[in-house]
């Protein structure tokens, strides 16, 4: 006889009283491992560059993790970076982002590879995130995906040298040699 596993919701998540970081993916509560210094260094650079670009053009806001992105009651994620356009600023609330951000960026760690590149990518597509950046420190690579209809297509890709660009944030580019 199969036993049903507990389905977590955002409401239950808010009641957790420990200092750990979690995400909820399709009702499953998942603890988030502490990031490495390399991970944090990359997130810091990307946040600074993207935030400066967005602010200089008055396009919206960029948030850095930890910030809850509540896609639904059973899907609560904490991407490394989140861009919300001025047009969608109504999804920014005190407790987090309630709805699909315009752009999400994930720095991939070996311990979260499948979660970030498959599970979360699928949710970002399903809920309508317009652009997804996947940063691979171990490979010195970045993939940028744009949502076309109901699937992600590669917008830009860089490996070791050169730069990658956003299709959503026109003229925003990242030089890989400066990043890594």
- Identify the CA nearest to 131 among candidates 150, 117, 113, 145: 145
Which segment of 17-26, 45-54, 88-97 scores lowest on mean pLDDT?
17-26
Q: Whole-model pTM?
A: 0.94
24 contacts: CB under 8 Å, gap ≥ 6:
8, 9, 10, 13, 30, 74, 75, 76, 77
Is a pLDDT exceeding 80 seen at residue 166? yes
pLDDT of 76 > 80? The answer is yes
CA distance 86 to 138: 34
Domains and CATH numbers, the chain: 35-179 (3.90.1570.10)
Query: Token digits for 42?
Result: 């990359």
Distance CA(105)–CA(48), nearest Å, equals: 13
Q: Is the pLDDT of residue 3 over 60?
A: no
Sign of CA pseudo-dihedral 66, 60, 46, 161: positive
pLDDT, residue 88, reads 98
Q: What is the pLDDT of residue 66?
A: 94
Q: Average pLDDT, stretch 28-38?
A: 93
Query: What local confidence, expressed as pLDDT, does residue 4 receive?
Result: 58
Enter the tokens of residue 85: 């356009």
Q: Which of 131, 27, 28 is nearest to 79 (CA)?
A: 131
Nearest 5°: CA angle at 69, between 68 and 75? 105
């Amino acid at each position: 006889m199969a036993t049903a596993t507990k389905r977590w919701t955002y409401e239950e998540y808010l009641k957790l009283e420990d200092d750990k970081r979690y995400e909820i993916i399709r009702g499953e509560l998942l603890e988030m491992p502490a990031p490495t210094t390399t991970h944090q260094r990359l997130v810091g650079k990307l946040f600074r560059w993207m935030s400066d670009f967005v602010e200089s053009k008055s396009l919206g806001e960029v948030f850095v993790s930890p910030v809850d992105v509540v896609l639904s009651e059973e899907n609560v994620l904490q991407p490394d970076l989140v861009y919300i356009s001025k047009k969608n600023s109504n999804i920014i609330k005190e407790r987090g982002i309630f709805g699909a951000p315009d752009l999400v960026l994930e720095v991939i760690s070996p311990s979260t590879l499948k979660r970030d590149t498959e599970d979360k990518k699928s949710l970002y597509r399903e809920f309508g995130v317009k652009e997804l950046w996947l940063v691979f420190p171990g490979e010195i690579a970045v993939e940028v995906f744009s949502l076309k209809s109901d699937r992600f297509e590669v917008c830009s890709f860089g490996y070791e040298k050169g730069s990658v660009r956003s299709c959503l944030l026109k003229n925003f580019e990242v030089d890989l040699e400066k990043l890594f």
